[in-house]
Amino acid sequence: MSGVVFSLPESEYSMPWVNYHTHCHYCDGKAELEAYLIKAIEKGFPACGFSSHAPLPFATTWNMKQESLQDYVAEISRLKEKYRDIIQVYLGLEVDYIDESWSSRNALFGKHSLDYYIGSIHFVDAFPDGTHWSIDGSPDLFFSGFEKIFKNNTQKLVKRYYQLIMEMIENDHPTIIGHLDKIKMHNRHQFFLNEQENWYHACVEDALDLIAYKECIVEINTRSIYRHNQDDLYPGEWILKRIYSKNIPVIINSDAHLTGEIDSGFTHAAAVLKRIGFKTIMVLWNNQWRECAYSVTGIEEKAFSINKWSR
């Protein structure tokens, strides 16, 4: 295959990043697919994966509509071919696990050849009127559900959240586990969860043991850093230390909703991982997941050939 030489000087792309958690205009992202690729190419990315919020059986303001899924798949296929000599493009989805009735095993997703998918929990049970409750919405919505569904019982809520995570891992075996401890998100608005309590550590340990057994990849999601001005990643540093001790593979993702966010927070995340002791992060390259060395400025994978590729 003939290669395409980037116009950037080598020093700017010799230590590239990659991102596989990217939201576009098909869901709640703010730009079209191609705009992300152009930005990724400008930044010297050798690969980029898209993971729009997959359709759900009920209406939301951020998930892709079921009738748009085929167009999403077709457009990514077109872009794969258009940019095949410049950047590797991967088709993914971020699939919400609701319960056994709606997950990645749904026939709607099975008929498409996904390169990977991110399994996430955004919804935990429902209000008395049957409306599904999102833990990832506004603080008012979160604490309304916390009160009306879980009677302000932190243990009941958090244990149910991790129960759903474990059901998702057991039943669906996602490629990537998205923002593992997302349940802590609204602690910054109103403290309700003490992460140092033994019962919470037990919830996390059980989930990590199953992740290790199923050989899933844990996402280091940087959105809390650059979007919500939090000090902690998803998952937090104490959980990352446990992940390291269990030899669970990790990947750095930005959960981008804007083109400029495709590598936001990566330097911070890489520094945290280095401090803990992680030697590699996972990269999807030439259609295979592989462990790659990295630094705080990018990936040091020798297999990357920026100017000419073999597949």
Q: Where are the beta strands (DSSP E) in 65-216?
A: 88-96, 116-120, 123-126, 132-134, 176-177
Task: Give, rounded to a whole angstrom, the gap between the first and last alpha carbons of the chain.
Answer: 9
Among 208, 199, 156, residue whose Cα is nearest residue 181: 208
Contacts 24+ apart (CB under 8 A), 189-195: 189/139, 189/142, 189/143, 190/139, 190/143, 192/146, 192/152, 192/154, 193/154, 193/158, 195/236, 195/238
Mean pLDDT of 273-293: 96
pLDDT score for 231: 82
Tell me the pLDDT band of 100, cut-offs 50, 70 and 90. confident
Predicted local distance difference test score (pLDDT) of residue 308: 38
Classify 277 in phi/psi space as left (phi over 0), alpha (psi -120 to 50) or beta: left
Confidence (pLDDT) at 217? 98
**For residue range 186-221, what is the model confidence (pLDDT) as tens digits?**
999 999 999 999 999 999 999 999 999 999 999 999
Asked if residue 184 has pLDDT above 90, the reply is yes
The pair of structure tokens assigned to 186 is 């609204």
Looking at the chain, the whole-number percentage of residues with pLDDT higher than 90 is 85
In Å, the largest CA–CA distance within the chain is: 62
Find the mean pLDDT for residues 95-104.
89
| Per-residue model confidence (pLDDT) at position 305 | 55
Show the CA angle centred on residue 210, arms to residues 250 and 267, nearest 5°. Answer: 15
Q: What is the pTM of this model?
A: 0.92
- Mapped onto helix, strand or coil, the DSSP state of residue 192 is coil
Give the model's pLDDT for residue 11: 38
Q: What is the pLDDT of residue 107?
A: 82
Q: What pLDDT sits at residue 39?
A: 98
Q: What is the pLDDT of residue 103?
A: 80
The sheet with strand 298-299 has its strands ordered as 280-285, 288-295, 298-299
Q: Using alpha carbons, select from 135, 111, 139 the residue that is nearest to residue 124.
A: 135
Is pLDDT of 112 > 90? no
pLDDT, tens digit, 9 for 90 and up, residues 16-36: 999 999 999 999 999 999 999
pLDDT at res. 13:
42
How much of the chain, in percent, has pLDDT values that exceed 70? 92
pLDDT at 302 over 90: no
Both structure tokens of 160 = 């149910």
Residue found under tokens 């990357």: 304
Sign of CA dihedral 134, 163, 169, 244: positive
Helices and strands, counts by H and E, the chain: 10, 11
CA angle 96, 100, 102 (to 5 degrees): 40
Average pLDDT over residues 47-72: 96
Domains of the chain: 10-299 (3.20.20.140)
Query: pLDDT by residue (tens digit) across 121-170?
Result: 999 999 999 999 999 999 999 999 999 999 999 999 999 999 999 999 99
